[in-house]
Structure 1
Amino acid sequence: MTEARPTGRLDKWLWQARFFKTRSLATRLVADGQVRVNAARVVKPATAVGPGDVLTFPQGARIRVVRITGLGVRRGPAAEAQTLYEDLTPERADAIPAERSGPRPTKRDRRALDALRDGEGPEN
């Protein structure tokens, strides 16, 4: 006989893996249809997931792609949560921090930059 693969609830796994601060946030994201399991959109927070499944979901301003490597027993520390998944999210080219080309801007420089962003023009 074939042994059944271990599974758990999708919303609980997202919370245990520390992708969301509360389980209700994870539940809402799944219920809104913003999570895909193995490229299929799911809307039920109780969807069974297990090791080998690939999840795609938004987190903040980026789209996360992770492969589940294990199921959690509890919501432990971050180091423990990182063992539950393998991050497949592609690196963004604009995520590389820009190097500073001079000294730190002064308060006057910052105000001038803020004025330019707001469309007012620099004040002198």
Structure 2
Amino acid sequence: MSESGSVRLDSWLWAVRRYKTRSQATTACRAGHVRVNGDPVKPSTRLKIGDEVRVRVAGFDSILEVTGLITKRVGAPAAALAALDKTPPRPSKLDTAAPIYRDRGAGRPTKRERRELDALRGYDRLPMPEQD
């Protein structure tokens, strides 16, 4: 564990084994996939004990609390001590809604039916395109 009061974010993410290389951690920070205490951050952001780090991986957020400051890559048991994983469990495939099917031969959906289907799928919350 580091004796200093803070450590670089990209270095810490690499040391606690969230990314295979430090450059991958840097790229994720620049792309906006990493947030500290709810704010998008740069790779050079200094972490302190108690900070909450959210890492977006495969469409889901991993929520980590900083419990130790390490800068070097260490063994998996030691890396687990530096981060407390508060990630909620992912929803199972059984929890997701079943696909929506129309009866064969029912014809083309009407405008009202299309709007209802879009609302069920969640497409009704998309932003409207800009009008020129």
* Range class of TM-score, shorter chain: 0.5 to 0.7
Q: Which runs of 5+ in 2 are unaligned?
A: 95-132
Deviations 1:65-103 (Å, cap 9, x if unpaired)? 01000011420111111000111101123189xxxxxxx
Tell me the equivalent position of 2:54: 56
Alpha-carbon RMSD? 1.8
- Please tell me whether the aligned partners of residues 55 and 67 of structure 1 are also in contact (alpha carbons under 8 angstroms): yes
Question: Matched residue of 2:92: which SS?
Answer: helix
1:70 to 68, 73, 96: 68
Tell me the equivalent position of 2:77: 79
Partners of 2:15 and 2:70 in 1: how far apart? 6
Partners of 1:28 and 1:41 in 2: how far apart? 13
- Please tell me whether the aligned partners of residues 16 and 76 of structure 1 are also in contact (alpha carbons under 8 angstroms): yes
Q: Which runs of 5+ in 1 are unaligned?
A: 97-124
Partners of 1:71 and 1:22 in 2: how far apart? 18
- Size of the alignment, in residue pairs? 91
1:94/1:67 CA distance change after superposition, 3 Å: same
Tell me the equivalent position of 1:32: 31
Partners of 2:25 and 2:90 in 1: how far apart? 24
- Please tell me whether the aligned partners of residues 38 and 53 of structure 1 are also in contact (alpha carbons under 8 angstroms): yes
1:93 to 91, 94, 111: 91
| Identity over aligned pairs, percent | 37
**What is the one-letter code of the residue matched to 1:27?**
T
Tell me the equivalent position of 1:118: none
Relative to the length of structure 1, the TM-score reads 0.68
Q: Which 4+ residue blocks in structure 1 deviate beyond 3 angstroms? A: none
- Please tell me whether the aligned partners of residues 19 and 59 of structure 1 are also in contact (alpha carbons under 8 angstroms): no
Question: Matched residue of 1:52: which SS?
Answer: coil
Relative to the length of structure 2, the TM-score reads 0.64
**What is the one-letter code of the residue matched to 1:19?**
R
